[in-house]
Chain A
């Protein structure tokens, strides 16, 4: 190479390096300007995991091509109805396009909605897996990488509210049960005598140290940690300590149906002995709260302080002290929907002079709908019962059966009931939203329509529950805010009109079915000790009977059995219904025997009369 060429080469290299260094020096300033001038929504990707950094940078210009190929594959498999690769493809695509919020939103929705319903409802555990995949993708990866994207918060809230909290999916009860079972242990600390209903528990969660290093320094707790480490190698790692501790507690603590899981546990007996030795000590009490707060933060991505704030704002009220809000039931998916929606709204609020977009409006709606859901189905009851073992199947179908059980199986069922205490939180949320949308007539009207319907339902619910005072307050509010003709009647007349509206179109046979159905509901609620709601259902059944007894006249009265006969039929159906666990049915009988002897007497009399009628009929044939 000639000297001239070498010099040119050298100058070129030096210039290249110099320009590169100069460009790098400008980078921070450029990124700051991008944020100041609001050119991007999300901050620069810093401290990203190595795989993500590699994927987004190393591929250079080929990243777009690879993304295209992955999308093509995902689309092709979706058209063919193949979902085995959906999760992996979603992971790769989102790794290559981490800042494209729509990508996260699409894949989470695809998994939670499309793929889950492609699996038959007879495999709820498979469906649950995909619903979980969907919300975990958003919660654990999408939102941390796009913390300012409100649409991701909204989508996450929607999966909780609509998919898991709603009733349209056949497996929705399974989702609710699994969700409640998974988070339930983190919402109470029996060592501290605190349950999920205690505000003090959430206070304790916010006050406990947030980092492992901090709790490990506590001399009290340090002895417990060391004892567990010495007892079992599973506790040797700091990273897995909390998770293993929580598993140890679940397996070592007594179960609701009795016994524990120690025999089949992966932990050594010495670990359980440490647990037993430390029961009641300050060390265990402190560490227990820390572990649960830590798990809520790191795995569930929930901030206990924000949980507390959300409960204080939107939790059910205490009827004894209406200014006091009780903690939300965080086992319910709608509570999580409210949490994530509020988090998204918080992000949006940081931009003071923003124009409100449709994502924000829909997120506000999400809060209202979740509160409505909690009003309608906010009480979760998990019932345990023992089911007889499945007999071994004979013949060729035996190949399809899992190993037959020898022992009764513990079965869990979840039941949902209304929670009227949520109403005031709903009302408060509505008022805030109404003020927020101020001059926007279109949006205000849309919110108001929903509010009006909610008030109408709430009046009826409180009226039927015997809370007449509350019903009157809500009705007065309804009349003031929406001065329509239908509200220009008294409360009693309004309630009657509403009931008749719902019953309109029913024939005499439908009426008998409806009455029996209401009575069966009443029995179920009575067995679950929800006496107010039971009374409301029974009252409605009576009103219905009265309505049709008057309406159909003499010619058809003969087809409408007396109320006591319908009560007897309803009881018989309830006791034979497999929709209710055996324990619940037994609980009802016990309560009737002990607390309602007059009802028991009436039922026995009815039974005797019916038996006589049957005998008379048989003799005449």
Chain B
């Protein structure tokens, strides 16, 4: 361990002597505070905070990622290029210990820089409200919708298997399958029917009420607010693209006939008009949640509307309530970035173990940028022609799935929308990115470096 530690400290010293490291560090030290005071967003306090955190953390993450790649590759390739490796390998240190020491040094440097810059981002985020003129309403919105960590509850996926089978059988018996679903396999038809039946359960005709029940709702502070985030879709778009909605939130069990109520739980009713196909959030006091964690959310489609109102399956409705603090969420976001940096350090070590410096950099940058945009790339396949889509799906998509999906695990998404990033989620990412992927890369790096010919010139 002493040997690994020695290599690690040496690596840190080497990295700090690098001009690129100094440039990145100075860039961040200057840009972050400037960004904090110049970011305007949409002009509101919340918008400003969201913009700063989004760009501040993204910039920190990106620059530290690039720095990690460069330093981890340079640490190994420079020793090889300048033949300094000969003075090291002749010492009583194993090759795998050299690589481990290099990576440990890079990771320690990352931790130190991440703490520094994340600290700056956090401090500026905390100070912005003091320097900005904002109305009471804006400050309240910032407290409720930014300086918090909201857990999300979505309605459970309904089991419609039996209904689907019954419907399929009926359509088959009446010879309607080919008419309605031409040229489709049984599985494809089942998928369509399942979606259709699930959506029917989330559609309210005029005069109909939909009720969703949630359990284990545990707001951190009953004096705070919870939010119901929803998006309407409609069968016939109204001329002004808006529909009325009558919302009821609370414990509906206390109104059932024969209900025995020990403590009356407050209920809230809101009638409002909202645009279709856009996200909206309605606020209710957290005291509407019953003591046992039960919450019902009801939507009534009033006769003022002349259309069926649907709530899309994926993102039509969710309940958001405060479950943790902004500080806790921020800490987890920073740890998520650290997982990414650890992965990149191991990737850099692998690349450097058998490639020269420029080629290794190129290799790692391609993987990094592809990993950062993989979600968008895969989504874009859907907009291409059917043939091209199929080709890409069976070739490129497979390769992309193997790569790290940095955009899927983006920390800023959680902070900007004040959504709770749980320790479980962080653990899952750490497991995938660090324990599985990074370890695999590290293992390959150690094996390759251990057996490679050090005196051989690599071009």
Give A contacts to B, CB under 8 Å: 69, 72, 75-76, 80-88, 114, 117-118, 120-122, 126, 129-130, 168-170, 396, 399-403
Q: Which of A69, A117, A122 contacts B278 (CB 8 A)?
A: A117
Indicate if the CB atoms of A118 and B140 lie closer than 8 Å: no
Q: Which of A76, A86, A117, A169 contacts B42 (CB 8 A)?
A: A86
Q: Does B50 contact A (CB under 8 A)?
A: yes
Q: Which of B42, B223, B272, B274 contacts A396 (CB 8 A)?
A: B223
Q: Does B102 contact A (CB under 8 A)?
A: no
Residues of A within 8 A of B135 (CB): 402
Q: Does B264 contact A (CB under 8 A)?
A: no
Q: Which of B240, B272, B275, B417 contacts A118 (CB 8 A)?
A: B275
Q: Does B241 contact A (CB under 8 A)?
A: yes
Contact residues, B1-50 vs A (CB, 8 A)? 40-44, 46-47, 50
1/0 contact trace for B237-276 toward A, CB 8 Å?
A: 0011110000000000000000000000000000011110
Q: Which of A76, A82, A84, A403 contacts B376 (CB 8 A)?
A: A76
Indicate if the CB atoms of B136 and A396 lie closer than 8 Å: no
Contact residues, B256-312 vs A (CB, 8 A)? 272-275, 278-280, 285
Residues of A within 8 A of B332 (CB): none
Looking at chain A's contact residues, the main secondary structure is helix
Q: In the assembly, what is the distance between CA of A467 and CA of B47, in Å?
A: 54
How many chain B residues touch the partner (CB < 8 A)? 33
Q: Which of B46, B223, B240 contacts A169 (CB 8 A)?
A: B240
Q: Which of B44, B50, B140 contacts A85 (CB 8 A)?
A: B50
Contact residues, B98-139 vs A (CB, 8 A)? 135-137
**B417 nearest CB across to chain A (Å):** 7
Question: Given contacts A84-B41, A400-B140, are A120 and B242 in contact (CB under 8 A)?
Answer: no
Indicate if the CB atoms of B272 and A120 lie closer than 8 Å: yes
Give B contacts to A, CB under 8 Å: 40-44, 46-47, 50-51, 54, 135-137, 140, 223, 231, 239-242, 272-275, 278-280, 285, 373, 376, 413, 416-417
Residues of B within 8 A of A401 (CB): 136
Q: Which of A69, A80, A81, A88 contacts B51 (CB 8 A)?
A: A88
Known: A81-B278, A83-B42, A118-B278. 20 other contacts (CB 8 A): A75-B376, A80-B279, A80-B413, A84-B44, A84-B46, A84-B47, A84-B416, A85-B42, A85-B50, A87-B43, A117-B242, A117-B275, A117-B278, A118-B275, A120-B272, A129-B42, A168-B240, A170-B242, A399-B140, A402-B136
**B28 nearest CB across to chain A (Å):** 19
Q: List 10 A-B contacts (CB under 8 A).
A: A80-B279, A84-B41, A84-B44, A84-B50, A85-B42, A85-B50, A120-B280, A169-B240, A170-B240, A396-B285
Indicate if the CB atoms of A168 and B279 lie closer than 8 Å: no
**B262 nearest CB across to chain A (Å):** 22
Residues of B within 8 A of A168 (CB): 239-240
Indicate if the CB atoms of B43 and A85 lie closer than 8 Å: no
Q: In the assembly, what is the distance between CA of A118 and CA of B51, in Å?
A: 19
Indicate if the CB atoms of A72 and B272 lie closer than 8 Å: no
Q: In the assembly, what is the distance between CA of A125 and CA of B137, in Å?
A: 12
Indicate if the CB atoms of A82 and B50 lie closer than 8 Å: yes
Q: From A397, which residue of chain B is reached at the shortest CB distance? A: B285
Q: In the assembly, what is the distance between CA of A482 and CA of B54, in Å?
A: 62
**A383 nearest CB across to chain B (Å):** 25
Residues of A within 8 A of B285 (CB): 396
Q: Which of A80, A83, A118, A403 contacts B136 (CB 8 A)?
A: A403
**A453 nearest CB across to chain B (Å):** 17
Indicate if the CB atoms of A118 and B279 lie closer than 8 Å: yes
